Amino acid sequence: MKTILTGLCSLALLAMILGTAWIIGPANAQTGNMNRPSNVVSTTPVPVKPKKHPLDKGDFKVGFSPKTKAKDPKKVMPKELIGAFQEITNALNQLIAMPKDVYINMDACGEPNAYYNPNASEITFCYELLEQYEAEFKTIEKDQAKVDEMVEDTLIQTLFHELGHCLIDVWELPATGREEDAVDQLATILMLDGSDEGQASTINAALEFEIASRDQEPGDMLFWDEHSFSKTRFYDMLCLVYGSNPDKNEFMIGDDGLPEKRAVRCEEEFKRAERSWMKLLAPYLIQ
């Protein structure tokens, strides 16, 4: 777990490149060798530049919001994790204009979860979620270093997923379909930064949904839930990965990957999702 928390420092590096990733486009991604380079753990704070966006009135901040800060956290956040989250918030503050402050924290919740609370303007990660991700990936991987990478990748997806909920709320962005599906799309698009590592990270995050679906019995499926089924989310993410560069991602099609009948629609699905989110967020991106 300590390795995972330390590795979170590199999340800020991913957040910093989001602006250029959308300009470069995932079509430049190289595929084939999905081995990731070693994580770069930075302890140097992200430099804070003067803001130049008229709508930017707030910041992402580490800690509990004024509405909840009187509550003592059940588990104190480790120093290295505070530093990692500070880098993440600094990077996001240079990328996205916010109308008010939004707080990011971790706490013991009694269940594996992560959520955005619009009433408190707060994104909370539960320690139990990290433990669940680690246990899931240990069922398919014995190398602890690789397990740590998979957990980190899945936390990136979770962060961007909750960020999507936050942006829809604070900027009143339209979401005519399931909001959960929409923010899954955003998280996947942001992770697909045009690099081998970005694609490998996205596939790792998708695998968590596939693993989670293995123990789901028909009687346990909540048809009324706001989330799509885990297996559906797995294929939706694979579809966007494949659709970001079909020529180079042909290896993803097969019995153990993306069904061919779904793959034929994925390039257009990716283009439509990326175009839609770009149009929604363009007014709030800091140049």
> For residue 229, what pLDDT is reported?
83
Residue 184 to residue 227: CA distance in whole angstroms: 10
pLDDT at residue 259 greater than cutoff 80: yes
Single out the residue of 193, 196, 230 nearest to residue 214, CA to CA.
230
Residue 29 to residue 194: CA distance in whole angstroms: 4
Residue 263 to residue 223: CA distance in whole angstroms: 25
pLDDT at residue 281 greater than cutoff 80: yes
Overall average pLDDT of the 192-198 stretch: 89
| Mean pLDDT score of the chain | 81
> For residue 20, what pLDDT is reported?
39
- Judged by average pLDDT, the poorest of 69-73, 120-124, 179-183, 274-278 is 69-73
* Burial degree of 176 (CB within 10 A; 0-12, 13-18, 19+): exposed
pLDDT at residue 40 greater than cutoff 50: no
Rounded to 5 degrees, φ, ψ at 20 are -70, -30
Overall average pLDDT of the 150-170 stretch: 95
Q: Is the pTM of this model over 0.85?
A: no
Return the structure tokens found at 227: 């989330």
